[in-house]
Structure 1
Amino acid sequence: MKCITLFFSFCLIAIFSIAQPNYDFLNLKRERLGRGVIAIRENPSTVAVSWRYLSSDPMNESFDIYRNDEKINKHPLKDATFFQDTYAGTESVLYTVKAREGKTESSYQLPANAPLGYLNIPLNRPEDGTTPSGQNYFYAPNDASIGDVDGDGEYEIILKWDPSNAHDNSHDGYTGEVYVDCYKLSGKLLWRINLGRNIRAGAHYTQFMVFDFDGDGKAEVVMKTADGTVDGRGKVIGDAQADYRNEQGRILTGPEYLTVFNGLTGEAMQTIDYVPERGDLMGWGDSRGNRSDRFLACVAYLDGIHPSVVMCRGYYTRTVLAAFDWDGKELKQRWVFDSNNPGCEDYAGQGNHNLRVGDVDGDGCDEIIYGSCAIDHNGKGLYTTKMGHGDAIHLTHFDPSRKGLQVWDCHENKRDGSTYRDAATGEVLFQIKDNTDVGRCMAADIDPTQPGVEMWSVASGGIRNVKGEVVKDRVRGLSCNMAVWWDGDLLRELLDRNMVSKYNWEKGVCERIAIFEGTLSNNGTKANPCLQGDIVGDWREEVLMRTADNTALRLYVSTIPTDYRFHAFLEDPIYRISIATQNVAYNQPTQPGFYFGPELQGTVFRGCKIPKK
C-alpha cells in the first residue's frame, strides 16, 4: 500500500488548499427527509411549532399552519419555519404544516398536558445486575444516534445503555452487558439488542453506526458483536455459552464479529469476522488490551455515491481501518489500511479518541481525518503531520476568505499543543505549542466581530480567530465540551452538562441562556448529552438528555423565535456523518462542510436568501 508522509511543497499546497467539498448531489445516496414537524409547549399559553425547509422546496415556498382543522396563521409563512401559537388548551391537539407551492402536508400530535420545552420519551430500562465478582450495577442511557428505520422520513432514536460499572480500557474489572435499543419518539420500543458478556462496556468498545447503507430508505445498524450477542428478534449470534472474560474482566481472546442489523426489527442480517482483527496483542503495544481494544468507526462516501461503514482499531500505536459496503444482502470489504504496511509507518500513533469525515480534497469522495493524519477515499494515506494522538478534533470551513476545509486539533504529546491546519494537505496554518497534555479544544463561531469560526483549547491562551490572533485571553464560563445552534441567530452557543450558554463578546463572558432541569449529562467530565444535532423542526439543533432517574429521554427543542430559514443541516453529508459519528469514544459536536455564521447575512446561501440583521 502506498502511503505518504507530509512534506510540504509549493505545488502541493497550491493544488489542494483551494479544494472544496465537491459532492455529486444529484446521485449521492441520502435519506429522504420528511417535514420534521414538532410542536413544543413554550409556556402554559403558547405552543412553538417548527418544521424543516428542504432543498427540494421551491425558494419561494411558504407555509400554512393548522391547529386541528383551523388555520391559525394570518399570512403565508415564508421568512422562517417557526410559528408561535397562542393556545392554552391542555388536551391533545393536532398541528399540520401545509406547503403552499409543493402541496405537501405533515402533522404532529401534541400530547395532552405536554411538558414545557421538551418532548418526553419514556424508556424501558434494563434490569440491574451482578458481576461474577459480586459487584452490583444498574443501567443509565448513554450515547444515542438517529436513523429513519421505517422509511417514513422521520427519525427514530438508537440508544446505548451502559452499566454503572463500565470501564476505560486502562482499568481492570468486570462490566455489565451493553444493550442497544431503538425507540420511536413516542417512546415505543421497537427492539433491543443485548451485546452479551463478551463485549466489554466502556466508551472505547462499542461504536454503533446508524445509516441507510443500502439506499432502501431505511437505516441499518452496524457494530461489533461477539459470541452470545442476542439480536432484536431474540436470536443468539455464535456460541451462547461462551465466556471469554478473564479474571480482570477483560476480553482478550475469542472470536470477534461485525454484524449488520435491520434497523426496523433489530434482526441480525449478516455477521462476518471482525476486521481489523485482534491478532497478537503485543503487536498493538501491550498485553492487556489497552492498545488493541481502542475502537473507532465512521460512515463515509468513499466512492462519492454510496455510504460505506469504516471500522477502526488502534491509534496509540498500530492503526488499522477497514471499509465495508452493504448492498442489502452482503457486507463486502472495500479496503484495509494498516500502518504496519511498508511505507505507512508514520501513520502509527496518530489517531484521536474521535475522528472526522468529509471530502477535503475536492474529488467528490470522503476522506477520514484520523487525528493527526488523513486517510484518502481509496484506503491510502493522504498525509500525516506526525503530531500524534489527541482527545478532540473539529472539521469545517472555518475561514470564509479561504477555500476548502480546515481542522482544529489538540495533542497529548506535551509538545505540539493545538494546531489549525489545512484539511487537504495538513499544512499547519497556526500552532499554539504547549508542554502539557492538551485534552480539550472547541471550535464555534461565537463572536460576530471576528472573521470566520473562533477556536480555543484548554491551553490556547484564550479565544483565537482564524489568523491565530487572541480575541479574548480570559473568558469566564467558556466551555470546551459541546456546541449547539440554539437561540435563532447565526452565532453558535455552547453546551456543557445540562446548560446552554452564549458568549457575550462585548463583556467577554459566557452567559447561561438555558438549563435542562431534571436531566444529567454523560461520560464524566466529557459532560455530553446523549445526542446533539438537527433532529426535528427548523434548521436549529436539539439536545437529547437523560432524566436524572434514568427512566426517560428528553428531547429539548428551542422555542426562541428565529428570523432565518435554511435547508436542514441534515442534507449536508459532512454534517449528517458528524451526527452518525458523535457516539464514537469521546463525543464531538456536529459541524457542517461549509461556513455557517453571521457573515452569511445579506447573501443567498445554498438557495436561501439570508436577511441582514
Structure 2
Amino acid sequence: MKCITLFFSFCLIAIFSIAQPNYDFSKLKRERLGRGVIAIRENPSTVAVSWRYLSSDPMNESFDIYRNDEKINKHPLKDATFFQDTYAGTESVLYTVKAREGKTESSYQLPANAPLGYLNIPLNRPEDGTTPSGQNYFYAPNDASIGDVDGDGEYEIILKWDPSNAHDNSHDGYTGEVYVDCYKLSGKLLWRINLGRNIRAGAHYTQFMVFDFDGDGKAEVVMKTADGTVDGTGKVIGDAQADYRNEQGRILTGPEYLTVFNGLTGEAMQTIDYVPVRGDLMGWGDSRGNRSDRFLACVAYLDGIHPSVVMCRGYYTRTVLAAFDWDGKELKQRWVFDSNNPGCKDYAGQGNHNLRVGDVDGDGCDEIIYGSCAIDHNGKGLYTTEMGHGDAIHLTHFDPSRKGLQVWDCHENKRDGSTYRDAATGEVLFQIKDNTDVGRCMAADIDPTQPGVEMWSVASGGIRNVKGEVVKDRVRGLSCNMAVWWDGDLLRELLDRNMVSKYNWEKGVCERIAIFEGTLSNNGTKANPCLQGDIVGDWREEILMRTADNTALRLYVSTIPTDYRFHTFLEDPIYRISIATQNVAYNQPTQPGFYFGPELQGTVFRGYKIPKK
C-alpha cells in the first residue's frame, strides 16, 4: 500500500499558508495522550490493528507490530498507522506496537471470541423506578464523553443514563433521576454519580464537561448538581431529604450548585452556588422554567493557557455565561457575561441549542460562538448578528482560500434561514433566507470537485459550496445529522441513526457503507450516537452506540485500510473541545480548527509533497 503522509504544525504554520487560530502550543495545557492501540476483528480470519500517530513522534517514525511475542510485520511500518493481521485464532491475543525511533511501546489485549467490527463495553444498568405520580420508567445509555481519568494516556468513558420519562423543558411531568457513570473500555465501572431528585432529566438540563482542568494529567468532571446529589463515593451533597419538585414535576425553587468531581473516584472535590443564578423566572421569559432552565456548557482556553469551564443559561431571551477556573483546590470565577448588562441587550435571544469554541480572532485565546453571536475570551461581547436562535451550528475552516474560521448556522425565526459567516467578525458571506423554522443544518467536505467544505440545511435548496452556489439540488439520503471520517479517504462520511453513508458526487446520491445492527441511536429525532470522534487508533473517528437492550456500549472502529498517516485530531484544541461539548443539548459533530479534505493532495506541507490520487 502506498502511503500519503500528512503532517501539520499546530504552532507556526497552517494549510496553504492561511492564518489559523494562533494558539501558543508551548504554553497550552493539554492532556498527555498515549498511543491508543486498538485491535478489532474485521472478519473471522483478519484482525485490524490501529494506533495514534502523535505530533511528538519523529516525522520519519516507523513501527513494528507484535502478536504476543511474535513480530508480524515483514518491514518497518512507515505508512498509515493501521495494520491488517491475518489471524483466525479465537483466544485472547496481546497486540503490541513499538515505535522504532522513539523506542516506546503500547499494547492492547484483544479479548477471546471478540465480535466483528466493534469493541463491546458491558454496562451496569440502573434499576427501574416509579415517579410520585405512579409512572414506571427504565434507563438507557444516553450521551457520553471521554477523559483520561487515571493519567495513563488512554481514555475512559463518562456516560449519562437517562430515564425513559426524560422531558423537554416545554413539557410537564416527573422524571427519574439522572446517573453519570465512568467506565474503562473493558467495561469496569469506576464510579457512579446520582444527580438526585432535584435535577430533572432531559437534553437541556445536564451538560457535563470532562477535561483535565488543573493540568495534573487526570480529567475532572464538572456539572450542575443540587441537594440530594450523591457523589461517586456515596457522599450526599447538601440536604439529602430536600425535594423541590412541584406537582408538574418541575424544579423551580431550591438551591442550585456547581460541582467539580474527581474523574478517577467520582468524589465531589468542591461544590459552589451555581452561576448563572435562576433568579426571577419571568426575567427569562416565562414562569414555568421552560426558558430559565435551558443550560449549555463548554470548555475554553480563555487565557490561551489553561482550560476553563463555562456554564451557560438561557438563549431564547436573557443569556448568561459564567466562566470558572479549577486549580485542583478551588473553583474561581473568571467572568460573567449577562445580556441584561448595559450595552449587551442585542445579545439576548441569540443562542442555539449548542455552541462552538475556538480562537476565531487569532489572539491565541478561545472565543465562544453562542449561536448568532460570539463572546470574546475576556467575557465581553465580540459581535452579534441578531439573527436569533437555531438548532444546529458548525465552526471550522471551511474555505482554504479564505483566512480564518467560518460558521454555518441555521435559524428558527422564519426569516433568516441559513447563514454562512466569518467567525471573527460576524460578516455574512452568504445567506439562504426562508420563511420556515430551519431546524437542521450540516457541514462536511463530501465532494472533491468543489472547493472547501460543503454545506446544506433542510431549506438550503440542496448542497452548497463555500461560494454559496448550488452543487446538487436534490440528494437522496442526504442527512443533516452527524459526520465521521470513516472509510480512509480525505472526504467525510455522514452518520445518521446507526448507519454511515457516503455521498456519491457523480451520481448525486448517498450510499450506505456501514450499518451497526443491534444498536439504537439516542434523543429521538436527533438520532445521534452516544459519542462520535477520534477516540482510539489512527486519525479516523470511532462511533459509540448503545445496544438495543441497553446493556452495553459498542465502540465501532473502521477496519477499512487507509493510505494516509495523520496526527490524531485530538491534538487540535478546537477538535478536542468539540468532543467535550458534543453532549450539550442538541449534539453536534466534531470539527477541527483547520481545513481537512482532498484539497490537501498535491500540496507541499511541512516540506512534504502530498501526492494527488
Normalised to the residue count of structure 1, the TM-score between the two structures is 0.97
Describe the SS at the equivalent of 2:576.
helix
- Provide closer, same or farther for how the CA distance between residues 106 and 580 of structure 1 changes in structure 2, counting only shifts above 3 A: same
- Provide closer, same or farther for how the CA distance between residues 502 and 2 of structure 1 changes in structure 2, counting only shifts above 3 A: closer
Distance apart, 1:609 and its partner CA: 5.8
Measure, in 1, the Cα distance between the counterparts of 2:194 and 2:2.
40
C-alpha contact 2:245 2:252 (8 A) present in aligned 1: yes
Runs of 4+ in structure 1 off by over 4 angstroms are 1-19, 604-609
- 1:545-599 Cα offsets, whole Å, 9 max, x none, are 0000000000000000000011000000000000000000000000000000000
Describe the SS at the equivalent of 1:570.
helix
C-alpha contact 1:394 1:408 (8 A) present in aligned 2: yes
C-alpha contact 2:5 2:79 (8 A) present in aligned 1: no
Describe the SS at the equivalent of 1:589.
coil
- 1:390-412 Cα offsets, whole Å, 9 max, x none, are 00000000000001000000000
Measure, in 2, the Cα distance between the counterparts of 1:86 and 1:10.
37
Q: Does 1:349 align with 2:349?
A: yes
Measure, in 1, the Cα distance between the counterparts of 2:231 and 2:145.
18
- Provide closer, same or farther for how the CA distance between residues 14 and 194 of structure 1 changes in structure 2, counting only shifts above 3 A: closer
- 1:445-478 Cα offsets, whole Å, 9 max, x none, are 0000000000000000000000000000000000
Distance apart, 1:605 and its partner CA: 4.3
- 1:463-518 Cα offsets, whole Å, 9 max, x none, are 00000000000000000000000000000000000000000000000000000000
Distance apart, 1:79 and its partner CA: 1.1
- Provide closer, same or farther for how the CA distance between residues 16 and 252 of structure 1 changes in structure 2, counting only shifts above 3 A: farther
- 1:316-361 Cα offsets, whole Å, 9 max, x none, are 0000000000000000000000000000000000000000000000
- Provide closer, same or farther for how the CA distance between residues 196 and 76 of structure 1 changes in structure 2, counting only shifts above 3 A: same
Measure, in 1, the Cα distance between the counterparts of 2:164 and 2:300.
32
- Provide closer, same or farther for how the CA distance between residues 482 and 230 of structure 1 changes in structure 2, counting only shifts above 3 A: same
Distance apart, 1:20 and its partner CA: 2.9
C-alpha contact 1:564 1:610 (8 A) present in aligned 2: no
C-alpha contact 1:482 1:528 (8 A) present in aligned 2: yes
Structure 1: gaps of 5 or more residues: none
C-alpha contact 2:233 2:265 (8 A) present in aligned 1: yes
- Provide closer, same or farther for how the CA distance between residues 591 and 13 of structure 1 changes in structure 2, counting only shifts above 3 A: closer
C-alpha contact 2:37 2:50 (8 A) present in aligned 1: yes
- Provide closer, same or farther for how the CA distance between residues 598 and 515 of structure 1 changes in structure 2, counting only shifts above 3 A: same
Q: Counterparts of 1:430-579 in structure 2 under 5 Å? A: 430-579=430-579
Describe the SS at the equivalent of 1:290.
coil
C-alpha contact 1:121 1:185 (8 A) present in aligned 2: yes
- Provide closer, same or farther for how the CA distance between residues 9 and 316 of structure 1 changes in structure 2, counting only shifts above 3 A: farther
**What is the Cα-based RMSD across aligned positions, in Å?**
6.0
C-alpha contact 2:93 2:109 (8 A) present in aligned 1: yes
C-alpha contact 1:319 1:338 (8 A) present in aligned 2: yes
- Provide closer, same or farther for how the CA distance between residues 8 and 415 of structure 1 changes in structure 2, counting only shifts above 3 A: farther
Measure, in 1, the Cα distance between the counterparts of 2:146 and 2:303.
23
Distance apart, 1:7 and its partner CA: 39
Q: How many residues align?
A: 613
C-alpha contact 1:296 1:585 (8 A) present in aligned 2: yes
Distance apart, 1:10 and its partner CA: 30
- 1:224-261 Cα offsets, whole Å, 9 max, x none, are 00000000000000000000000000000000000000
C-alpha contact 1:2 1:380 (8 A) present in aligned 2: no
Q: Counterparts of 1:337-376 in structure 2 under 5 Å? A: 337-376=337-376
Measure, in 1, the Cα distance between the counterparts of 2:610 and 2:157.
32
Normalised to the residue count of structure 2, the TM-score between the two structures is 0.97
Distance apart, 1:601 and its partner CA: 1.1
C-alpha contact 2:3 2:80 (8 A) present in aligned 1: no
* Residue in structure 1 matched with residue 385 of structure 2 by the alignment: 385
Distance apart, 1:602 and its partner CA: 2.8
C-alpha contact 2:309 2:323 (8 A) present in aligned 1: yes
How high is the sequence identity, in percent, across the aligned residues?
A: 99
Distance apart, 1:610 and its partner CA: 3.5
Measure, in 1, the Cα distance between the counterparts of 2:240 and 2:61.
56
* Residue in structure 2 matched with residue 159 of structure 1 by the alignment: 159
- Provide closer, same or farther for how the CA distance between residues 10 and 368 of structure 1 changes in structure 2, counting only shifts above 3 A: closer
Measure, in 2, the Cα distance between the counterparts of 1:390 and 1:368.
15
Measure, in 1, the Cα distance between the counterparts of 2:215 and 2:229.
26
Distance apart, 1:13 and its partner CA: 22
C-alpha contact 2:8 2:606 (8 A) present in aligned 1: no
Describe the SS at the equivalent of 1:421.
strand
Q: Does 1:18 align with 2:51?
A: no
- Provide closer, same or farther for how the CA distance between residues 395 and 412 of structure 1 changes in structure 2, counting only shifts above 3 A: same
Distance apart, 1:19 and its partner CA: 5.9
C-alpha contact 2:6 2:566 (8 A) present in aligned 1: no
C-alpha contact 1:3 1:382 (8 A) present in aligned 2: no
Measure, in 2, the Cα distance between the counterparts of 1:48 and 1:551.
26
